């Protein structure tokens, strides 16, 4: 079963509905026993980095998530702040990140932008694949919906799965083994988001 981890943050029902439209069943749960039985995990995130980190730390779910991801090696997909939490730290707050991907989450650097672009970045962007992945099957010309002021900056370039350009190129997707994350919102990205979630549910 694909379980959407409920630690009090994220568009859980919207994600589940988009999975359903793509033909995939999922469970929304904050129950460690349900997570223990899962074959895939979806890790949402929304809002302020520190709030998300405090919520997951207080949820009591991290030990079972860690076991599933690092011992059993089941696939995990982080969305938006869920991806940002994979890093060691974030410029948005003072809480430590999960440290699952070596890197940090940084604010958009206006001084590097070629154009006068608004922050937060809210809207559709084309994405480019940095490597092949089962997640990207049939998404060669995809575009996705974004709503964010911060983005991840992995240390190891081989962790980068997807990039986009908003004044300058930046990372919008990572994949290291079974740990996968995207900055955009697939649940708001129409057919492209439905296909990506379908791929996660069926290709791993």
Catalytic residue among 52, 80, 148, 151: 80
Catalytic residue among 92, 148, 175, 187: 187
Strand pairing partners for 153? Answer: 104
The full length of the chain comes to 204
Q: Is 80 a catalytic residue?
A: yes
d(CA 99, CA 51): 17
Q: Is 52 a catalytic residue?
A: no
**Can you give the three-state secondary structure of 8-55, one letter per residue?**
CCCCHHHHHHHHHHCCCCCEEECCHHHHHCCCEEEECCCCCHHHHHHH
The answer to whether 61 touches 55, Cβ cutoff 8 Å, is no
Catalytic residue among 52, 92, 148, 185: 185
The answer to whether 180 touches 150, Cβ cutoff 8 Å, is no
- In the chain, the DSSP E strands lie at 2-5, 27-29, 40-43, 76-79, 89-90, 103-107, 121-126, 128-129, 143-148, 150-154, 160-165, 169-176, 179-182
Q: Is 72 a catalytic residue?
A: no
* CA-derived radius of gyration, the chain: 16
Catalytic annotation, residues: 80, 185, 187
């Amino acid at each position: 079963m694909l379980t959407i981890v409920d630690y009090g943050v994220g568009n859980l029902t919207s994600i589940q509905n988009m999975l359903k439209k793509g033909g995939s069943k999922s469970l929304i749960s904050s129950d460690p026993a349900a997570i223990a039985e899962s074959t895939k995990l979806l890790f949402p995130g929304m809002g302020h980095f520190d709030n998300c980190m405090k919520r997951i730390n207080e949820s009591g779910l991290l030990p079972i998530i860690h076991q599933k991801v690092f011992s059993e090696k089941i696939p995990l997909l982080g969305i938006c702040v869920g991806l940002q939490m994979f890093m060691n730290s974030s410029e948005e707050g003072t809480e430590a990140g999960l440290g699952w991907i070596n890197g940090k989450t940084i604010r958009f650097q206006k001084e590097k932008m070629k154009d006068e672009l608004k922050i937060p970045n809210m809207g559709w962007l084309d994405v480019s694949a940095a490597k092949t992945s089962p997640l990207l099957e049939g998404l060669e010309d995809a575009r996705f919906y974004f709503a964010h002021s911060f983005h991840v900056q992995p240390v190891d370039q081989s962790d980068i799965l997807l990039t986009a350009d908003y004044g300058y190129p930046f990372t919008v997707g990572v994949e290291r083994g079974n740990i996968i994350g995207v900055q955009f919102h697939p649940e708001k990205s129409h057919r492209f988001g439905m296909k990506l979630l379908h791929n996660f549910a069926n290709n791993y």
